[in-house]
Chain A
């Protein structure tokens, strides 16, 4: 029981990574692919923040009468990663809009079909 409780966050991060990865490679809809990418990203964030937690510690903001703080460095890394993540998301969504305007669809197999028709 103790092992489960102490490792649950790692496993959930892996499970979420699997969910995001599946949405990324198995689903043909481009918007859903991007949502899958976001889920994948957030699972990695969860893993890093879990590493930073110290039980009994508080948030890393210095105050009197507190000795134990959680590790601030994973927080800094993930703060940067979140902002870069939204930049990639917006770029991906802009590509989706352009693809929709050129092909009239955002389903991968329909796009491939249109492409092969054009080649023939």
Chain B
């Protein structure tokens, strides 16, 4: 076993603690910061697992933009989570049921880092050996994303564009704070 697995182990334990804290903490600003920390830890794990491109995307998008968006929303909606009176027994049962089924499914999975795992046998070696010949790019992830699967990436841009339009449509009919205050005053009078 290489040293990587031990670094991974430590980071993964931090990750679980952060996840549990997200459920436990009721201050939503703290939850937003915890979700940023969670993404940053996830990015560190991606570096350990050799996924450097994914790591810096996760660090900038997950820990950066998502946290900023969440803080922006919390500035509008306020930061306290109400104590819930809902019973948490049924959700807990569902979650534990799903989890144990999935754990049962992991017995068949290949060992961590096994070079003979089926996932490394089929298409990946061709990309690794031919990418430089075909595209002239040393970074295989970039080559696949922008060259081999360029149209898929274009489709992804379409998805983000649609989401952007959706956000714009949802937020363009917002009332200003002044109008909301006036409305509240009217309601109080009635």
Which of B58, B77, B109, B115 is A68 in contact with, Cβ under 8 Å? B115
Residues of B within 8 A of A94 (CB): 166-167, 170-171
**Contact call A23/B22, Cβ cutoff below 8 A:** yes
Contact with A along B114-152 (1 / 0, CB 8 A): 110101100110011001100000111100110001001
**Contact call A72/B141, Cβ cutoff below 8 A:** yes
- Interface residues on chain B, size class: 35 or more
Alpha-carbon distance between A51 and B127 when the two chains are bound, in angstroms: 17
Which of B52, B99, B153 is A15 in contact with, Cβ under 8 Å? B99
**Contact call B163/A28, Cβ cutoff below 8 A:** no
Residues of B within 8 A of A62 (CB): 128, 131-132, 138-140
**Contact call B76/A97, Cβ cutoff below 8 A:** yes
**Contact call A17/B58, Cβ cutoff below 8 A:** no
Given contacts A80-B145, A84-B156, A106-B77, 11 further A-B contacts (CB under 8 A): A5-B1, A11-B103, A22-B91, A38-B62, A45-B42, A56-B113, A60-B140, A61-B139, A75-B53, A80-B156, A107-B81
**6 nearest interchain CB pairs?**
A55-B113, A87-B163, A26-B91, A70-B50, A6-B111, A72-B140
